[in-house]
């Protein structure tokens, strides 16, 4: 039985690509690659995700975490960044390389993606699709079922594994052909296009770019921490993160490195903070002032409070009043 390995984003195009090929009696195994920038939360319950995809679309999917190789690529993507910190061309090249490596594990004869010529300005132009194929080492083994008839036949077609006549000739930005095809497959509940990648979101992307500019080594938990909470660069270099609710406070606590200071008010409810990379007394004072500023108000006032700093076996308190807003306006990341 022929097997195809599909790069699965979870969006409609990748769903349709899988179904078109599976419709020819080919076993399709989908793989969804995740990093903290996209899809990472799914790792918390992979089985549930796989169950939902199977139930909704009839597709078998596995998750693969490619964070480490992705972090390295993101520092210097050979094809550059898009509008924000999104290295779309190199992202696709990396994911295809990873998929190619997995082909043996799943006894796959070829790869499929849901790409459509001309759908995205940067990464889905005809010449770019060729570059992606070439640089990922996937020339000839990568079938794009939704626009295959607009492309040079791949090995799967010339060797008769796939009937080219039953593939499609979609191109351009219009979504109507995909929507009609989805209807034919009886698929009505699917995610909207785009979205889901924080590297394309300007605020998040700026913060990630700041982190890359500052740290030569990228740590998984740091990156995960960059994606929620309030962030400040303190005047003497400290990077301070504050939770905005209970859930963020708990996440911060679980992600922080033991060398980082956990900062909070032991006698009053308020945010949990994590202070990185500073021993400067002014940064400690600033962090304490921020915790009080964003803490619970007493009679409408953010009154002075004791703020506890703890890192490893080191622990100390500072008394602090709320920092006035003008004092930290330029610190936000």
Residues of this chain that interact with ligand SF4 (CB under 6 A) are 38, 86-88, 91-92, 123, 197, 199-200
- How far apart are CB 9 and ligand SF4 at their closest, in Å? 7
The distance of closest approach from Cβ of residue 220 to ligand SF4 in the complex, given in angstroms and rounded to an integer, is: 17
At its nearest, how many Å lie between ligand SF4 and the CB of residue 92?
6
* Residue with Cβ nearer ligand SF4 (99 or 275): 99
Give CA–CA dist 280/282, Å, rounded: 5
Q: Is 55 helix (H, G, I), strand (E, B) or coil?
A: helix
Which of 31, 52, 214, 209 has the alpha carbon at shortest distance from 113? Answer: 31
Residue with tokens 């078109």: 20
SS3 call for 6 = strand
Nearer to ligand SF4, 73 or 155 (CB): 73
When the beta carbons of 2 and 204 are compared against ligand SF4, the nearer one is 204
Give the shortest CB-74-to-ligand SF4 separation in angstroms: 9
Which residue stretches of 168-293 are H helix? 176-184, 202-214, 220-226, 246-255, 281-293
Q: Pick the closer one to ligand SF4 by CB: 199 or 265.
A: 199
Least distance from C-beta 15 to ligand SF4, angstroms?
Answer: 16
CB of 16 to ligand SF4, least distance (A): 17
CA distances from 131 to 34, 89, 120, 143, 302 (A): 23, 9, 15, 14, 57
Rg (CA), the chain: 24
Residues 6 or more apart in contact with residue 258 via CB below 8 angstroms: 311, 312
**Dist CA 127 CA 134 (whole Å):** 11
Query: Least distance (Å) from ligand SF4 to the CB of residue 119?
Result: 12
Q: Are 182 and 190 contacting, i.e. CB atoms less than 8 angstroms apart?
A: yes
Separation CA 41–CA 35 (nearest Å) = 9
Nearer to ligand SF4 among residue 2 and residue 86 (C-beta): 86
* Closer of 88 and 288 to ligand SF4 (Cβ): 88
Give the nearer residue to ligand SF4 in terms of CB position, either 114 or 295: 114
Give the residue from 223, 242, 259 showing the smallest Cα distance to 307. Answer: 242
Q: Are residues 67 and 36 in contact, defined by beta-carbon separation less than 8 angstroms?
A: yes
């Amino acid at each position: 039985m022929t097997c195809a390995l599909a790069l699965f984003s979870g969006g409609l195009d990748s769903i349709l690509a899988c179904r078109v090929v599976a419709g020819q009696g080919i076993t399709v195994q989908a793989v969804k690659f995740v990093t903290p920038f996209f899809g990472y939360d799914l790792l918390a319950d992979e089985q549930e995700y796989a169950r939902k995809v199977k139930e909704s679309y009839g597709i078998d999917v596995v998750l693969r975490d490619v964070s480490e190789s992705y972090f390295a690529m993101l520092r210097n993507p050979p094809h550059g960044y898009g509008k924000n910190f999104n290295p779309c061309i190199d992202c696709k090249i990396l994911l295809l390389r990873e998929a190619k490596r997995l082909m043996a594990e799943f006894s796959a004869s070829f790869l499929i993606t849901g790409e459509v010529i001309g759908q995205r300005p940067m990464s889905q132009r005809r010449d770019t699709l060729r570059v992606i194929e070439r640089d990922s080492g996937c020339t000839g083994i990568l079938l794009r079922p939704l626009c295959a008839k607009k492309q040079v036949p791949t090995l799967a077609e010339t060797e008769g594994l796939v009937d080219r006549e039953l593939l499609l000739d979609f191109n351009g930005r219009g979504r109507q052909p995909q929507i009609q095809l989805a209807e034919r497959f009886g698929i009505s509940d699917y995610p909207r296009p785009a979205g889901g990648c924080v590297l394309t979101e300007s605020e998040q992307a700026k913060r990630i770019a700041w982190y890359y500019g500052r740290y030569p080594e990228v740590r998984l938990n740091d990156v995960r921490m960059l994606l929620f909470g309030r962030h400040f660069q303190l005047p003497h270099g400290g990077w301070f993160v504050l939770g905005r609710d209970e859930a963020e406070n708990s996440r911060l606590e679980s992600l922080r490195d033991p060398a980082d200071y956990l900062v909070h008010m032991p006698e009053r409810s308020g945010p949990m903070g994590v202070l990185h990379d500073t021993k400067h007394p002014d940064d400690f004072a600033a962090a304490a002032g921020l915790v009080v500023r964003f803490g619970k108000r007493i009679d409408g006032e953010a009154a002075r409070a004791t703020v506890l700093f703890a890192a490893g076996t080191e622990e100390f308190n500072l008394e602090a009043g709320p920092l006035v807003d003008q004092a930290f306006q330029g610190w936000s990341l």
